[in-house]
Structure 1
Amino acid sequence: MTRPRILVVGAGFAGVECVRRLERKLSPDEADVTLVTPFAYQLYLPLLPQVASGVLTPQSIAVSLRRSKKYRTRIIPGGAIGVDLKSKVCVIRTITDQIVDEPYDYIVLAPGSITRTFDIPGLTDHAFGMKTLAEAAYVRDHVISQLDLADASQDPQERASRLQFVVVGGGYAGTETAACLQRLTHAAVKRYPRLDPGLIKWHLIDIAPKLMPELGDKLGSSAQEILRRRGIEISLGTSIAKAGPEEVTFTDGRVIPTRTLIWTAGVVASPLIATLGAETVKGRLAVAPEMNLPGNDGVFALGDSAAVPDLAKGDDGAMCPPTAQHALRQGKHVADNVIAALRGQSMQRYVHKDLGLVVDLGGTDAVSKPLGIELRGLPAQAVARGYHWSALRTNVAKTRVMTNWLLNAVAGDDFVRTGFQTRKAARLKDFEYTDAYLTPEQVREHIEGTGRQD
Structure 2
Amino acid sequence: MSTPSPHVVIVGAGFAGFHAARTVRRRLGGTGRVTIVNPTNYFLYLPLLPEVSAGILDPRRIAVPLPAALRGVDLVLGEVDVVDVDARTVGYTDPEGRRGELRYDRLVLAAGSVNKLLPVPGVNEHAHGFRGLPEALYLRDHITRQVELAATATDPLEREARCTFVVVGAGYTGTEVAAQGPLFTAALARGLPQLREQRMRWILLDVAPRVLPTLDERLARTAEAVLRDRGVEVRMGQSVQEATYDGVELSDGGGRVPTRSLIWCVGVRPDPLIESTGLATDKGRLVVGTDLAVPGHPDVFAAGDAAAVPDLTRPGEITAMTAQHAQRQGVVAGRNVAASLNGGRLRHYKHHDLGFVVDLGGLDAAANPLRVPLGGLPAKVVTRGYHLLAMPGNRLRIATDWALDAALPRQSVHLDLVRATAVPLDTAAPEIPRVT
TM-score by length of 2: 0.96
Give, in angstroms, the shift of residue 186 of structure 1: 1.5
Q: Which residue of 2 aligns with 1:321?
A: 320
Q: Residue 81 of structure 1 contacts residue 437 of structure 1 at CA under 8 Å; is this kept in 2?
A: no
Q: Is the 8 A contact 1:215 1:369 kept in 2?
A: no
The 1:375–1:109 alpha-carbon spacing in structure 2 relative to 1, beyond 3 Å, is: same
1:154 aligned partner = 154
Question: What's the CA shift for 1:412?
Answer: 2.6
Give the ranges of 4+ consecutive aligned residues of structure 1 lying more than 4 Å apart after TM superposition. 424-427
Residue of structure 2 equivalent to 1:224: 224
Contact 1:125–1:427 (Cα < 8 Å) also in 2: no
Distance in 2 of aligned mates of 1:55 and 1:197: 25
In structure 1, the partner of 2:416 is 419
CA deviation after TM superposition for structure 1 residue 122, in Å: 0.9
CA contact (8 A) 2:134 2:423 kept: no
Take 1:372 and 1:429, find their aligned partners in 2: how far apart are those partners? 35
- Are the equivalent residues in 2 in contact too, given 1:186–1:197 (CA < 8 A)? no
For residue 67 of structure 1, report the CA deviation from its aligned partner: 2.6
Residues 124 and 427 in structure 1, CA contact (< 8 A), matched pair in contact too = no
Which of residues 400, 404, 419 in structure 2 aligns to 1:403?
400
The answer for the alignment partner of 1:202 in structure 2 is: 202
SS of the equivalent of 1:34 reads strand
Distance 1:231 1:5 in 2: 55
Match of 2:264 in 1: 263
Alpha-carbon distance in structure 2 between the residues aligned to 1:377 and 1:101: 51
Residues 219-253 of structure 1, C-alpha deviation per residue, up to 9 Å, x if partnerless?
A: 21121111111100011011111111111111123
- 8 A Cα contact 1:171 1:265, kept in partner: yes
- Which amino acid in the other structure matches residue 438 of structure 1? I
Aligned-residue sequence identity (percent) comes to 41
Per-residue CA distance 1:335-392 (angstroms, 9 max, x = gap): 1101111112221101111010001100111110111000010000000010001111
Hey, what does 2:24 align to over in structure 1?
22
- State how many pairs are aligned: 433
Question: 1:47 is matched with which residue?
Answer: 48
| Counterpart residue type for residue 290 of structure 2 | P
Counterpart residue identity of residue 407, structure 2: V
Q: Which amino acid aligns with 1:258?
A: T
- In structure 2, the CA distance between the partners of 1:252 and 1:331, relative to structure 1 (3 Å rule), is same
CA contact (8 A) 1:82 1:437 kept: no
Provide the aligned C-alpha RMSD in A: 1.4
1:130-170 deviation per Cα after TM superposition (whole angstroms, max 9, x unaligned): 11011001100000100111112112111111110000000
Shift in Å at residue 429 of structure 1? Answer: 3.4
Q: Which amino acid aligns with 1:296?
A: H
- Amino acid paired to 1:95: P
Q: Is the CA contact 1:126–1:427 (under 8 Å) kept in the aligned structure 2? A: no
Amino acid at match of 1:182: P
Q: Which moved more, 1:49-58 or 1:273-282?
A: 273-282
CA–CA separation in structure 2 for the residues paired with 1:239 and 1:102: 44
Distance of 2:213 and 2:252 partners within structure 1: 22
Cα distance in 1 for residues equivalent to 2:248 and 2:136:
21
Deviation at 1:197, TM superposition (A): 4.4
Q: Are 2:142 and 1:142 aligned?
A: yes
Alignment of 1:27-426 (within 5 A): 27-28=29-30, 30-67=31-68, 71-253=71-253, 254-311=255-312, 313=313, 315-394=314-393, 397-421=394-418, 425-426=421-422
Partner of 2:181, secondary structure, is: helix
Partner of 1:449: none
Residue 119 of structure 1 aligns with an amino acid whose one-letter code is: P
One-letter amino acid of the counterpart of residue 134, structure 2: A
Distance 1:92 1:218 in 2: 45
How far apart in 2 are the matches of 1:214 and 1:182? 24
Cα deviations across residues 88-145 of structure 1 (Å, max 9, x unaligned)?
Answer: 1111111111122211111000011001011111111110111101100110000010
Residue 425 of structure 1: how far off its partner (Å): 4.7
Q: TM-score, normalised by structure 1?
A: 0.93
Which whole-Å CA distance do the structure 1 matches of 2:340 and 2:421 have between them? 49
Gaps of 5+ in 1: 445-454
Q: How far did 1:426 drift?
A: 4.8
SS of the aligned residue for 1:170 comes to coil
Unaligned runs of 5+ in 2: none
